[in-house]
Structures are given as structure tokens and as C-alpha cells.
Amino acid sequence: MIHRHWRLAALLLFVSFATAKAQFSTAITSDDVMRHIRILAQDEWQGRGSGTPGGAAAAAYLEEQLRAFGVAPASADGSYRHTFEFVSAARLGKGNRLAISAKGKSRSLRVNDDFRPLGFSASASFNGPVVFAGYGISLPDRGYDDYAGIDVKGKAVVIMRYSPWGDKPPMEFQASTSLRAKVLKAKEKGASAVVVIIGPADTDTDVPMKLSYDRQAGSADLPVISMRRALVEGWIGDPKQALKILQDSIMSSKQPRSFAFDQITLDLQTDVELVRAKADNVVGMLEGTDPKLNHEIIVIGAHYDHLGMGGEDSGSLRPDTLAPHNGADDNASGTAGVLELAHYFAEPSHRLKRTVYFLAFAGEEMGLLGSSAYVNAPSTPTSRMAAMVNMDMIGRLTDRKLIVYGVGTAAGLDSLVSSKNIDSTFVLKLNKDGFGPSDHSSFYTKKIPVLHFFTDLHGDYHRPSDDWQLINADGTRQVLDMVAEVMRALGDAPGRPVYVQAEMPRPMGGGDGRSSRVYTGTIPDFGEQSEGMKLAGVREGSPSAKAGLQAGDVIIKFGKVDIKNLYDYTYALGEYKVGDSVPVTVRRGDRTLTVTVTLERRN
Ligand SMILES: [Zn+2]
């Protein structure tokens, strides 16, 4: 019985093998590109979300193709899979409870109906008095401070969403109106819990906010809930002080109206569970042909994950539309590129002298999670990696425009790339920076020269409409022809490219917005973080470099602000001005040291 089934399974596998192999030519062709893209971007795989069945189906397809093309498995366990874990969502634990006692009378409230913790709330408890702190914004140097004249130490603060200017405040207030910034400000002012309501001027609805998990930055240090404003209305009791009157007066006068509630105490317990999931990077390799060079590796990579069915926390630009975000360009095109190049270089006559690793990453849309997991636990030492070539969105070539990042990350990369623009096929836009919003960044943090190919953004970016019908398959084939030539130059050159810390113009800031006003030159490590903000590096000649900060340091305090994550750090920057000398405490290995960083202007 079993024997017969096994055979059938083998036959099926062989058929798919044969079909896979037979279906694709070893040459790089637009037909093959489109065939891979249509398979990867099919509705059935529901946008290839990391940790979802669609994502797993895509990983299985990649493994099957690599095996069919004769590419060897290259994960540490001898498989094609490099598995990593990540937080996929936040959910309510069983321990959420809230009781309010007003003028001696106590009342229990219902989770979900009356209140709900926010996704970044700590799982913690609070029992004590409550203060109304308006919008929870404190910018005295801008003439507005909800915390002026009130003491919130050890108390809970009730704050409204948005700002006295509604949800579109002036630039200099923008960074202070996010809920995270308000919670950090409340913490900084000594509050022990935060209650978020939405003002009657902003909406008629009055329901607790959805529990969502934003990836950027771990959880806050204190319990944070959203609550129906009607409950707070009940505490006020004085119709002249009704919330509508309060909010209207703050919005019209641009002056705060904060006060302590009389005889109101909260007894709060929050319980938020972070849901963990697993996803696979797919890893294959072709051994180099030259024994003197094949200990060195050229990495070719692309992320295969996308936004799944979309929704609020997915990064979709149509968050209201739950539908397959097919990601034909982002990034089925780059993934098809990895497969096409694997098939091409597997051909004996096309083999390179150096070894080639083919990497397809998951978790990119969640913050480069797959690639940073890979470089932090690689299946072979990163020191063997002579260069990394990344492709993310190469499917919509328009007006021959091709953008290549990273040409400043090793000597001669810019002329190498330009030299492979045969017959000026492309209008090349070269950018020196090795850091940017895709997986090459993770490799650059390990001091590996990188190149990143990109045919630019378009109107379907991060929307369900990023479909295969809009793909310029022949344009992608042309990009891959060029990438293949660049890889050949890197793979067969006598010497490996020499890493350079790309000298970069200071990133541009917006107007004199809060957090973008000052410049420190730190480069955050986007991998999963523990307590503090880990540095992937510091920019050459920057204030941080001058202060002696270095890659691997974990910033735990910036001036007066405790730093738990990237978000706290961005927030802390907003608290200081150009020219300020700020004590910065870092963990370096098992030591803790404090240096002084003198802030400079961001150009
Ligand atoms: Zn992408």
C-alpha cells in the first residue's frame, strides 16, 4: 500500500521536476520571467504574506525550481530553508480588566466594549487617580504644553487622539501627535498609565480602538488602553466642562485645558500577548569553478514575501481593501530574477569562478526581518561574501530608467555597472548609498559591498492592483541580462571588491520638523531588537562617529530619554536642538559607557 503511494508521490514529483525543468529554458527569457511572475503573483497565494499558507506555497515553489535547475541546498542543516521567527500579531490575553471608582462608587468595565489595550501596551497593572491631559502634547518651545501646571506622577493620564489642529497638524507638531510619541511623553512626565479617547469633534463613533501590532518598535513600558469617551464624560459631571466644550476651546484657543479628575480612580490590568510565527528564507548555491576563488561568494537575492491580503497593519496603501496584494512587481519580479539567474548560471558553460548563493527572503515587508535574520545567523560566514546583488521591483521598466543603489560601497562599482549598460540600454540612475528600504541593507551592515536594482515606484505600489498584466517582462529580461553581466564581472574577477563605507550626503530633513531637525549619523539595525536600539553602524565623520559610537553598540539612553527601541530613539531626537551636547549611554558587549554626542544640522 505505502509502496504504491510512494511511487505515485515520486512520479508526481518527477513530473513536476520534469515540467519545471522542461518548462524553462536556461537562457534568460521574458517568457520565463513572466511564467514565474504569474505563478508567484497568482490570487491563490493571496499576496505571499510571511507565515501564511500563500507564503509557504511560494517558498515550496522556489525550492522545487532551484532543485530542478540543479542548484544545491545551502542552509546550515543541508536543506533549502533558513527558518526565522517573528511577531506576527498582538492579541488580547485573558487578564484584561478595568474597574472605575467615582466618588466612592465602583464599576467594572467590559474589555472590547468599553476599553481595549493598544497593541504596544505593556502587560501591567495600575491603580490610582486620573488626570485629563488634553492631547498629551508638550512642546513648550512651540507655545503649547498640555502638561504645564499639572502633576501626573504616578497617575493615569487621559489624552485625546490627534492634535489641536486635528489630524493634520503643522510640521513641527507632527512627530508629537503619534500615539507612541504621546505615550513616551506621558512616561517622561512620570505617568503610570495612559487612557486614549477620541474627541467628539473628531468623530461621532465612540468605540475602543482596534488592537493592532505595529512592527517598528516593541512595547511601551506602561499599560496603555483606548476607552469610550462617554465614560470620561461621566467623570466630568460639570456640563460646562463637557468634553465637546473642552475640545472646542483647546482647538480654537490652541491653549491646553488640563486638570485632575476629582475622586476618580482606575484599577487597571492589561494583558497583551504577542503572537509569534515562523517563515523561511530559501537558500541555494552553485559551487564556483575556480578552486582559488570558490571559497568566496557572490550573493544574489530578492524578497518573495508581500503584503498578503492587506489590511491596516500590513503596509498596504489601500488599507481598507482586504484582497490579494499580488505583488507582481513587488517582488515577484525580483524573485523571478533569482530563479532565472539560477537556471542560467547552473548551465555548465555559464558557471562562475566564485561560488554563487541564491537567496529568496521572507519578512522584508515587515522590516527586512528575513535578510537581517539571515546575516545575523548565516548558513556560511558572511566574511566569505564578496558582494551582494539585490533585486526589488524590477518589473516595471519605464522610459528605460534603471536605478542602482550601492555603487559607492566598493571601489569601482559605479564604473563596473556603467560598463555593463550595453548600447545604453538603460537610462541609469546611480546612487552610492548601501543603505535603503530593501534587503541589501542587511548585508551592508555586515560590511559587504552591495548593489540594489530597482525600476522605480509606480501607482500600483503596495496596492492590490500590482498585477502581472502590468509587468514589462522584456524590460525585466533586459535588467537580468545586465545583472548577469555584473555578476560575471564580480564572480570571475581575480580580486574581490573592496568594501568602502559609502560617503553619503546627510539625509535630507523635512522643513524643521521635530525629529528630522538634528543629525547624529547613526544607522539602526532593523533586525529583531531587545532592550535598546542596536546600531548597524555610524556614518563616517558624523557626530556619532566623532563621539566614538560604533556598530554593535546598543543605545539605552539618549539624554533624559530611556531608549527601548527605534521608536524611542526617533522620539528622543526630537527633544534636542542642533548644537546640543547630549550624553548617550550604550551597552557595548557586557560594558555600559556614556559618550557625549554634539548634534549637528541635517542638511
Ligand atoms: Zn519590495
Ligand 1 centre and the CA of 20: distance in Å? 25
Contact assessment for residue 184 and residue 220, using Cβ atoms and an 8 Å cutoff: yes
Ligand 1 centre and the CA of 586: distance in Å? 32
Ligand 1 centre and the CA of 359: distance in Å? 14
Which one-letter DSSP state was computed for residue 163?
B
Ligand 1 centre and the CA of 95: distance in Å? 38
- Looking at domain 2-88+275-492, its CATH architecture is 3-Layer(aba) Sandwich (3.40)
Ligand 1 centre and the CA of 454: distance in Å? 9
Query: The cell 553602524 sits on which residue?
Result: 537
Residue 485: name the closest of 290, 283, 300 by CA.
300
Ligand 1 centre and the CA of 54: distance in Å? 17
Ligand 1 centre and the CA of 305: distance in Å? 8
Ligand 1 centre and the CA of 327: distance in Å? 8
Ligand 1 centre and the CA of 330: distance in Å? 5
How confident is the model over 22-50, as pLDDT tens digits?
A: 567 889 999 999 999 999 999 999 999 99
Ligand 1 centre and the CA of 148: distance in Å? 45
Ligand 1 centre and the CA of 275: distance in Å? 24
Ligand 1 centre and the CA of 74: distance in Å? 23
Give dist(CA 259, CA 535) in Å, integer.
Answer: 41
Three-state SS sequence of 481-522: HHHHHHHHHHHHCCCCCCECCCCCCCCCCCCCCCCCCEECCE
Distance of CA 122 to the CA centre of its chain: 21
Ligand 1 centre and the CA of 364: distance in Å? 7
Ligand 1 centre and the CA of 436: distance in Å? 11
Selected from 3.50.30.30, 3.40.50.1700, 2.60.120.10, 3.30.930.10, the CATH number assigned to the domain covering 95-270 reads 3.50.30.30
Which one-letter DSSP state was computed for residue 208?
P
Ligand 1 centre and the CA of 366: distance in Å? 10
Ligand 1 centre and the CA of 372: distance in Å? 15
pLDDT at 509: 45
Q: Under DSSP, is residue 283 helix (H, G, I), strand (E, B) or coil?
A: strand
pLDDT at 517: 62
Ligand 1 centre and the CA of 392: distance in Å? 5
Contact assessment for residue 73 and residue 80, using Cβ atoms and an 8 Å cutoff: yes
Helix or strand run (H / E) with residue 22: helix 2-23
Ligand 1 centre and the CA of 404: distance in Å? 15
Helix or strand run (H / E) with residue 285: strand 272-286
Which one-letter DSSP state was computed for residue 210?
P
Ligand 1 centre and the CA of 365: distance in Å? 7
C-alpha cell at 55: 507564503
With a cut of 70, list the residues of the chain below it in pLDDT. Answer: 1-23, 215-218, 237-241, 502-517, 525-531, 603
Ligand 1 centre and the CA of 115: distance in Å? 36
pLDDT at 514: 44
Ligand 1 centre and the CA of 334: distance in Å? 9
Give dist(CA 394, CA 564) in Å, integer.
Answer: 36
Residue 476: name the closest of 413, 425, 415 by CA.
425
How confident is the model over 101-157, as pLDDT tens digits?
A: 988 889 999 999 999 999 999 999 999 999 999 999 998 888 999 999 999 999 999
Within 10 angstroms of residue 349's Cβ, the number of other Cβ atoms is 5
Helices 334-346/53-68 angle, 10° precision = 20
Helix or strand run (H / E) with residue 344: helix 334-346
Ligand 1 centre and the CA of 394: distance in Å? 10
pLDDT at 58: 98
> Where along the chain do its domains lie?
2-88+275-492, 95-270, 518-601
Ligand 1 centre and the CA of 496: distance in Å? 28
Ligand 1 centre and the CA of 63: distance in Å? 20
Give dist(CA 207, CA 197) in Å, integer.
Answer: 9
pLDDT at 405: 96
Residue 368: name the closest of 424, 302, 422, 323 by CA.
302
Ligand 1 centre and the CA of 331: distance in Å? 5
Which one-letter DSSP state was computed for residue 217?
G
Ligand 1 centre and the CA of 388: distance in Å? 16
Which one-letter DSSP state was computed for residue 330?
I
Ligand 1 centre and the CA of 168: distance in Å? 28
Ligand 1 centre and the CA of 375: distance in Å? 18
C-alpha cell at 286: 552553485
Ligand 1 centre and the CA of 50: distance in Å? 13
CATH topology of domain 518-601: Pdz3 Domain (2.30.42)
Q: Distances from the Cα of 286 to the Cαs of 152, 289, 384, 548, in angstroms?
A: 62, 9, 14, 41
Q: Under DSSP, is residue 431 helix (H, G, I), strand (E, B) or coil?
A: strand
Ligand 1 centre and the CA of 164: distance in Å? 36
Ligand 1 centre and the CA of 300: distance in Å? 15
Ligand 1 centre and the CA of 126: distance in Å? 42
Which one-letter DSSP state was computed for residue 270?
-
Ligand 1 centre and the CA of 455: distance in Å? 11
Ligand 1 centre and the CA of 393: distance in Å? 6
Task: Look at the alpha carbons of 337, 338, 343, 347 in this order and tell me if their dihedral is positive or negative.
Answer: positive
Ligand 1 centre and the CA of 427: distance in Å? 21
Ligand 1 centre and the CA of 533: distance in Å? 24
Give dist(CA 153, CA 135) in Å, integer.
Answer: 17
Q: What is the biggest distance separating any 2 CA atoms in the chain, rounded to whole angstroms?
A: 85
Sheet bearing 259-269, strands edge to edge:
105-109, 97-102, 259-269, 125-132, 156-160, 193-197, 224-227, 115-117
H helices of 117-256, in order, are 171-174, 179-188, 229-236, 243-253
Helix or strand run (H / E) with residue 523: strand 522-524
Ligand 1 centre and the CA of 7: distance in Å? 40
Q: Give the contacts of 78 (CB within 8 A, at least 6 positions apart).
A: none
pLDDT at 516: 52
If 0-12 CB within 10 Å is exposed, 13-18 middle and 19+ buried, where does residue 529 land? middle
C-alpha cell at 371: 535578510
C-alpha cell at 586: 550604550
Query: The cell 474627541 sits on which residue?
Result: 199
C-alpha cell at 428: 541609469
Give dist(CA 602, CA 132) in Å, integer.
Answer: 36
pLDDT at 207: 94
Within 13 A of 477's CA, how many CA atoms are on the CB side?
14
pLDDT at 574: 78
